[in-house]
Amino acid sequence: MTIQTCIPAVEIARLEKSYGSLKVLHDISLKAEQGEVISILGASGSGKSTLLRCVNMLEVPNAGSVSIFGEEYKLEQRVDQAARVTDRHQLQRLRSQATMVFQSFNLWSHLTILENLIEAPVHVQHRNRKVCIAEAEALLERVGIADKRNAYPSHLSGGQQQRAAIARALAMHPRIMLFDEPTSALDPELVAEVLKVMKDLAAEGRTMLVVTHEMSFARNVSSRVVFLHKGYIEEDGTPAEVFSHPRSERFRQFISKHAH
């Protein structure tokens, strides 16, 4: 146990990412200890979503490394060429340990909610179908949409879809959860129901990386706040530190703009 807690859940070292000649992330190093809930803030275009997508290699960094519980993604990074992942099995294994919740939910439209939850556990993790169904039902109960098990995603409201998507992520037994602006596509009155589920997860001691615009979540739920500006980390600390004594002028402006 003591050895385990020494290994960071996510370790990003000297990461760089560019699209063509446009560099969107500069020399990013970030360590998420186990159980940390990190809110990643930043204006649009600051690179925060790209950074999160580098954690499960939906975007492959051009330089630097990313490790999940001490295991580094095997990458081939060449000058002037697209970087790529070289070990598909490792990629699939690490991805199922760090599951992602998307801004636009991305539930599979041709499957029912229950089928969405058991899809990857059964077909990627090759776990027993019956066990997965029982677990999925419990998860749907937990996020409050047990009655929607046989509905299709299009039949659900945005808030319900996002809760289903969180349940889908949980069904993988992930050690890390990545949230990419999970409430940005929701109507204001539906945001609370999703934030409540996320708050419960944070309280359980799950490692979470959350790209968000929800200041209340960053301030009250997360254990750490990271602020990105133009591809650089400009602020990094506990919510108490960064919100009361921001070191960066841009973060100060960012807070006042989002303070309502």
Partner 1 sequence: MNIFDVSFFAENFVALCRGIPLTLQLTLLSVTSGAVFAIVLASFRLSGNQVLDGLARGYIFVFRGTPLLVQLYIIYYGLSQFPELRKSFAWPFLREAYWCASLALCLNTAAYSAEIIRGGVIAVPLGQIEAAKAYGMGGLTLLRRIIAPQAFRLMLPAYSNELILVVKSTALASTITMMEVTGIAAKLISATYRPVEIFIAAGAIYLLLNFSITRLLRLLEYRLSRDRRPHQAATGEHA
Angstrom distance (rounded) from CA 142 to CA 119: 19
In the 8-state DSSP scheme, what is residue 203? H
125 contacts partner 1 (rule: CB under 8 A): yes
- Minimum distance from residue 13 beta carbon to partner 1 (Å): 22
Sole window of 70-78, 102-110, 218-226, 229-237 interacting with partner 1 (rule: CB under 8 A) = 102-110
Q: What is the rounded distance in angstroms from the CA atom of residue 195 to the CA atom of residue 176?
A: 17
Q: Compare residues 96 and 248 and give the one whose CB is closer to partner 1.
A: 96
Nearer to partner 1 (CB atom), residue 172 or residue 201:
172
Other Cβ atoms closer than 10 A to 209: 27
Q: Is the dihedral of CA 117, 36, 49, 176 positive or negative?
A: negative
Q: Which stretch binds partner 1 (CB under 8 A): 19-27, 33-41, 68-76, 90-98?
A: 90-98
Backbone angles phi, psi at 24, to 5 degrees: -105, -20
- Per the structure block, which two tokens stand in for 196? 């409540």
155 is a site residue for partner 1 (CB under 8 A): yes
CB of 22 to partner 1, least distance (A): 20
Site for partner 1 (CB under 8 A): which residue of 5, 108, 256, 258? 108
Q: Between residues 17 and 95, which has the closer beta carbon with respect to partner 1?
A: 95
118/48 Cα distance (integer angstroms): 30
- Classify the C-alpha dihedral 226-229-231-233 as positive or negative: negative
Considering only residues 218-237, where is the footprint of partner 1 by CB under 8 A? none
For the bound state, the minimum distance from the C-beta of residue 151 to partner 1, rounded and expressed in Å, comes to: 5
d(CA 198, CA 258): 21
Chain residues in the site for partner 1 (CB under 8 A): 56, 58, 88, 91-93, 95-96, 99-100, 102, 104, 106-110, 119-120, 123-125, 147-148, 150-156, 168, 172
